[in-house]
């Protein structure tokens, strides 16, 4: 997956406070909303290293939730 799409998805989630509709995340990353669930699954593979639930599908897959604290811990990020 192109890093630009990962960055766009992450930015969209951060700007939304960590929770956003899966279709909106996909659209903001340049993916077709119909492919949102598959796109979210790929993002989970990127972010959920060592089974830490950094990115979770909730509401029967309609919503993505980013656990910002886990993101920072898992990847050694500040602020």
CATH number at residue 32: 1.10.10
Domain count, the chain: 1
Residue numbers of the domain that contains 18: 3-73
Q: Which residue has the tokens 């990962």?
A: 6
- The pLDDT assigned to 79 comes to 67
Could you tell me if residue 78 is inside a domain? Answer: no
Q: What is the largest CA-CA distance in the chain?
A: 34
Q: How does DSSP classify residue 21? A: E
Per residue of the chain (79 residues), what is the pLDDT tens digit?
Answer: 899 999 999 999 999 999 999 999 999 999 999 999 999 999 999 999 988 899 999 999 999 999 999 999 999 988 6
Could you tell me if residue 14 is inside a domain? Answer: yes
The alpha carbon of 71 is separated from its chain's Cα centroid by a whole number of angstroms, namely 10
Residues contacting 71, CB < 8 A, separation 6+: 47, 54, 77
């Amino acid at each position: 997956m192109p890093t630009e799409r990962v960055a766009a998805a992450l930015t969209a989630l951060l700007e939304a406070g960590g929770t956003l509709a899966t279709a909106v995340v996909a659209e903001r990353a340049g993916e077709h909303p119909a492919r949102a669930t598959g796109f979210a699954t790929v993002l989970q593979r990127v972010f959920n290293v060592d089974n830490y639930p950094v990115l979770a599908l909730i509401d029967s897959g309609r919503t993505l939730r980013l656990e910002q604290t886990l993101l920072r811990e898992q990847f050694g990020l500040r602020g």
